[in-house]
Structure 1
Amino acid sequence: GPDLAGGAWGPTQWLSPMQERPIMGDFEKYGPRGTDEYAFRLTGCYVPEQYLRGWLLEDWEVTLEKLVWHVRPGIYWMAIDGVMEARELVAQDIVDDILYLRDCPAGVTFRHFTGDIYVTDRYTLEIEFTKFDLTWIFWLGYEDRALITAPEMLTAPGGADSWDNQTGTGPFKLREYVVGSHMTFDRNPNWWKTTVIDGVEYELPFIDELVMPMILDEATWVSALRTGKVDYDWTVATPQWENLDKTTPELLSSRTEPSGGNGLYLQCTQPPFDDVDVRRAMMVGTDMGDFAALAGLEGLVPLHWYPLSPGHPESLYTPLEKLPAETKLLYDYNPTLAKQMLADAGYPNGFKVYVTSGPS
């Protein structure tokens, strides 16, 4: 299968069958069927703005004072018995959703930089900044919690927690949810999106039925993938890659680095880690290649792939060989040099560190 540089399937893990975001990556224009100039691998969950497009939005304007969002006309919520009739998405729906999220614990991500949020007409809303924050486009535009929910879901009996109340503007409609077994979705015949392939315009989605099975046992899941019982899996663990390549070479694969992971956070506001020279020494004394080997990614992931990866243009991502010497040094494991750097920083005998960690 394609290597890491071709991992364009990775971001599909964040797509919702039913609900949609204000902003999305312009995959059709810049992905494999377009110019193929951007990999859309979402390392660090970041997409450069030049590769984004309006989704529920037609377009937007941004200043240091506020955002102006123009909602795309002609998008409709799906009808759900006892919840809502089919109706057009309007700016007030997005305002209500953002305000609801801002009042929730997850709203901490953008609560500190947003002020008044209001509509100016049926298809226009404005989001005022209390201070400008360039991360707005992620938190409000395309992060997984940026999915827009119909206000009727909140007021229906059972609220948004009820599976029977789920609706959206997206390509699929929930048919059934069997706890511990599967979720089944039917094609939304009124979805607004179309696509052009070889000059021919098609209605979407192409899929009539989408079934998402819940298989907890890894061996069973991999067997289902190998035998074609399931068509797609974006969570295949690295120890399974070689096995699947050998037993099922016809299986299409796309290897990509994850969008995040676990990290060790240093207390940089007090000694010893408030000293940048100590932090540099710690990095030189850490064999980061070992971490890749433990994950089964040795030789597949560059030593510096997060938060920007090789899938980004060099205006954003600098390959290791092009880094300045003082930066490139940090990626060259050298415990002898690290000890000398610590000594030069005033710690010839090193120091003890206490680490707080969860059970996993």
Structure 2
Amino acid sequence: MTTKEGRGLNWITSARIASVALAGLALAGAAGPACAQAEAPKYGGSVEVGSMYPTVSALSWDLADWNWKQNYDTGQVYEQLFVADLSKARRNGGKYPFVADAWLPEDAIRGELAESWKWLDPLTLEVKLRKGVRFPAKPGVMPERELVAEDVVFSYERQNGSAKRIPTYFDHVAKVEALDKHTVLFRFKEFNAEWDYRFGWGYYSGIMPKEVATAGAGNWKNVNGSGPFVLSSFVQGNAGTYTKNTLYWDSERIGGKDYKLPFVDKLVIRTVKDEATRNTMLRTGKLDIAENVRWTAVEELKKSAPALKWSRWLSTNGQYLAMRVDAKPFNDLRVRRALNMAVNKQEIVKQFYGGNAELFAYPQHPDYVGYFEPLSAMPEPVKELFTYNPDKARKLLAEAGYPKGFSFKVQVCACDPNHMELLPLIGAYLEQVGVRIEIQPMEYGAFLSAMTTRTNAPGYLMSNGHTNPTTTIRKSFVVGQVWNASQWGNPKFEQRVNDAFRLRDVGRRQEALRALTREVLEDAPYIWLPTPYQYTAWWPWVKNYEGELRAGAVRPGPIYARLWIDQEMKKKMGF
């Protein structure tokens, strides 16, 4: 059974479905697809991007370090087997905005390093690699050479052998082997609904030459891949600069003609911690694109820089205050439910976010059609957690043995201005029922380490990527998983999660995930918080772009490769 490139990667359809919910988040001020395709691209120049993660610099350049941000920083350089089919973007007349952090609908995936693939049997996948894909020469690291099947095998085995790997992540894979120079065989122990995401286009899917590992993969100066750009400089906390890879193999079809990629000579991704400075850089044209603008700044920027183009999208990060269920007082369900009822979430949406948020959008995102259920469809015990009821909160606390409340520490990332402002408000609500919080701001590295080493405080305020409808349940609610800050879980639930991943039938898998989601919502390991809307802004001289953000798992590289800068327009506009 052979799949067609760009038509999904399924034996029996993988867990990807077209997202109709995104249709409501139309891109404001975007040019129509006919306009986007009418212009011939212009080569040269540079593009300055305000990072999607403006306060977090590169965490590591070594793919075996398993850091969630590696595709954002290295995805311009390291390619993967599969990638988003950007011809299906809205600017091209398609239906996808490509903003989800790690959710590619099955009809919007194409081969990147994989030229074709087919299932030889239900547990054996054959992948044919593109011929002629080249790694550029890197002085002191490697000479120029062709990418071959052994590079795929090496990359998989290095990831799988890493001490930092996510537990169980590749447990469904029996073996990956090179049959010949351009053929890779994946042998599976069992079906896994995320097989294509796990080592095809996901967070930990980059293909790296062995020479980089030998030279030292953690040193940015050694980074070298087959992608559209070469990493030419990096300044921690400031910027990563990428220059055109003249050996890059891919092209873009525009107006019926193929054009060699990338179009720009240089790409600069800026990390600017101060929000006011970022907004000033955007307004004055020092940034061509700001991938993440908080809603509080939008109206002023629209007034001061009316030529900016905008997209509005519901955040792909869920927000919550995790409560560690492995210790008192949060091992008591009554306490966890009480704290949820003590926080006026409707008021947070209206007052704190000015209406720019949704009350109920985690752990499933509204985009995940078939998996997401609205709050109105939830059982009453779930609805109750989103209803402000301080009187019942006090009653539950008294029943649990805390009539006078208690105090606990909450860790928060100092790099997140939204959370630094939101947490005192949550604390004020909790104080009304006798619960006091001690706020501990932390720098990102220490904050992340506290969770990954399971030494985080009893309270932990965080944003967590939805990822996709299956991963969001596995990573957040299975004991031992890295992103399970509450340490919540039970063996029966975990078995049902594993069973859901083995289901080949999409309808049955969706039903199973809906049931698991309802169960974990009701058990309240988190104080469930609203999900805000976010904005992306760009100047009209940025062409072949309409706010797309990810072409895989937090990976923008293929998007950057396809945009160009109309330098004449920029000059005429006074920049």
Q: TM-score, normalising length from structure 1?
A: 0.78
Deviates more, 1:222-231 or 1:48-57: 48-57
Counterparts in 2 of 1:78 and 1:3: CA distance versus 1, 3 Å: farther
The amino acid across from 2:311 in the alignment is: S
Matched, 1:153 2:212: yes
Q: 1:266 to 1:223 in 2, by over 3 A?
A: closer
**CA positional deviation for 1:49:** 3.1
Equivalent in 170, 183, 188 of residue 124 of structure 1: 183
Is this contact kept in 2: 1:11–1:41, CA < 8 A?
no
2:355 corresponds, among 292, 299, 320, to 299
How do 1:3-14 residues align onto structure 2 when only pairs under 5 Å count?
4-6=25-27
2:131 aligns with 73
In the other structure, the counterpart of 2:161 is: 103
- Equivalent position of 1:335 in the other structure: 389
- CA distance in 2 between partners of 1:130 and 1:356 (Å): 43
Distance 1:75 1:119 in 2: 17
Task: Kindly provide the amino acid, as one letter, of the partner of residue 301 in structure 1.
Answer: A
**Structure 1 position 207, deviation (Å):** 1.0
- Quote the Cα distance in structure 1 between the aligned partners of 2:401 and 2:88: 56
More strand per residue: 1 or 2? 2
> 1:204-262: CA deviations, max 9, x gaps?
11112212344343322221111001211223333322321222121122222333255
> Is 2:173 aligned against 1:114?
yes
Alignment match of 2:98 (pick from 35, 40, 45): 40
Cα deviations by residue, 1:63-97 (Å, 9 ceiling, x for unpaired) = 76344433233322122122222222222101111
What is the CA RMSD across the aligned residues, in angstroms?
Answer: 3.9
1:33 is displaced (CA, Å) by 1.0
Name the aligned partner's letter for residue 303 of structure 1.
L
Correspondence 1:172 to 2:226 = no
Q: Could you say what secondary structure the match of 1:141 adopts?
A: helix
Q: Which runs of 5+ in 1 are unaligned?
A: none
Matched residue type, 1:221: R
CA distance in 1, matches of 2:403, 2:176: 52
Q: Structure 1: which amino acid aligns with 2:253?
A: V
Residue of structure 1 in register with 2:456 after alignment: none
- The alpha-carbon distance between structure 1 residues 283 and 127, as it changes in their structure 2 partners (threshold 3 A), is farther
Once the two structures are aligned, what percentage of the paired residues are identical?
29
Q: For the residues of structure 2 that align with 1:11 and 1:181, how far apart are their CA atoms?
A: 10
In structure 2, stretches of 5+ residues that fail to align are 1-22, 31-48, 54-70, 412-439, 442-575
Give the counterpart of 1:82 among 133, 136, 140: 140
Deviations 1:9-43 (CA, angstroms, capped at 9, x unpaired) = 9998754221222222223225431422x332215
Task: Report the equivalent of 1:242.
Answer: 299
Cα contact 2:337–2:385 (8 A) shared by 1: no
- C-alpha separation between the residues in 1 aligned to 2:390 and 2:270? 51
Deviations 1:174-225 (A, max 9, x none): 2333455543322122212211122222221111221234434332222111
Aligned partner of 1:137 among 193, 196, 212: 196
Query: Would the aligned equivalents of 1:10 and 1:42 in 2 still touch at CA under 8 Å?
Result: no
Q: Which residue of 1 aligns with 2:253?
A: 196
Residue 106 of structure 2 aligns to which amino acid in structure 1? E
Q: Extract structure 1 runs of 4+ deviating beyond 4 A.
A: 2-5, 7-15, 61-64, 178-181, 266-286, 290-294, 318-321, 324-328, 336-343, 346-356
Tell me the distance in 2 between the aligned counterparts of 1:112 and 1:160.
Answer: 25
Q: Distance in 2 between matches of 1:139 and 1:299?
A: 36
Greater Cα shift, 77-86 or 278-287: 278-287
- One-letter amino acid of the counterpart of residue 226, structure 1: R
Contact (CA 8 Å) 2:50, 2:270: kept in 1 or not?
Answer: no
